[in-house]
Structure 1
Amino acid sequence: AAETAPTEVESSDDEDEVPPQQEDEDSKIARLVDMQFPLGRVMRALQDAGGDLHAALDRLLAEGGDRESGEQVWASSQQADAPGVCSPVQRDAREEGHAPGGGEVDSNRGRYYFLTQATLYSGRPSSYDAKPMEDGEEVSLASILDDLRRIPTKLWACRGRKNVAPVGVKETQQMTMGLIDPRGHSHGFPAPSRSSWLFPNLMRRLLH
């Protein structure tokens, strides 16, 4: 009988190879950062896509960017007309060595914060959220109060707003809605608060 040589299984030396899906996602995010999409538009696309980041990226890229609007937002954040004054984005970038001279922010940094804010906002809404608003619907104070009463006490618990809690009290019952999460402000990117993505329909009703 003829002897058959054992087949050698080729092993890849690059164990840290990025999956094709991740590479595709990174390229999409890089394109969005280059097109300077306003953060509010990104979050609306995420919500319309049900929190699916890939679907939101595809939709935004298909629609195209509002570059003029993005440039206005970017220019105001950079404070180009104020000599000697730098924005939080410029300051943090310079401290980390990304922008030693002209204040340009590294594209990788922009992609990182885009993913951070997108992931934060793409959380699933609470089952206690208000019903979606219908076209032409009038929002009454009574309906808002009913929506607030429907939320269980445990979701009102807040341990982070120590600046508004009475002395000696570690936990208060309150909610903060809007783009005001301080974790994003230190880098110049406004982040939605936890209550914003838990109760998006309720937040819209309050704003209405």
Structure 2
Amino acid sequence: MSKGIPALPAAETVAERAKEMLSALEADEEFSAFVVASLKYDEDWTCYSGTPIISRYNQETDAAPLFAEGMRALCLKAAVFEMTGDENAAEIPIAIPVDEMTHAMIAQPQLLARITERVGIQIIHQTNQEHTDWRTNDYTHQAYQAAWGEPPGRYWIDHEEATRRLDILRGKYTEAGFLNMGRAHVIDFGELVTA
């Protein structure tokens, strides 16, 4: 990694390479197994601040389209990394729900590693470097548009709107006894039931 973040390549150039990467990944012999494994990561997906910001979210109907968005985001990041060689630069902003989906994908390390090695790309994601402050018309948006058209607003929720929704959720969680966005709670389960 470089000490300073290099200039980002043209969004259109990143878009072209990301499309090529996505096509190669989808053509891999183990891609269908990767999809199944990623979508099976259902109860473990539970996060109080990711997919819950999607209005009327339903994992049964939203998981597959969200998977497609996660793949696109990972390919955009991989294209930036390939062109810059810089992990920090590759952590371009993505929307919160899309980022959560990428976590389900990265939780399939063996499949993902074999597929990306055969395809010859490197997936970039590191939680302490990620940016979930995606905004309409930012660099990520421009690259996405150049590759696939307008991102679906259901999943690509602008940062300000995401923050507003998180504030609503925070209030509802607190009322239900869940504190710090689910990282603490005041529920007492009572005495241990022995067998």
- Name which structure has the greater RCO, CA cutoff 8 Å, separation 6+: 2
The structure where helix makes up a greater share of residues is: 2
TM-score by length of 2: 0.28
For the pair shown, the structure with the greater C-alpha radius of gyration is 1
TM-score by length of 1: 0.27
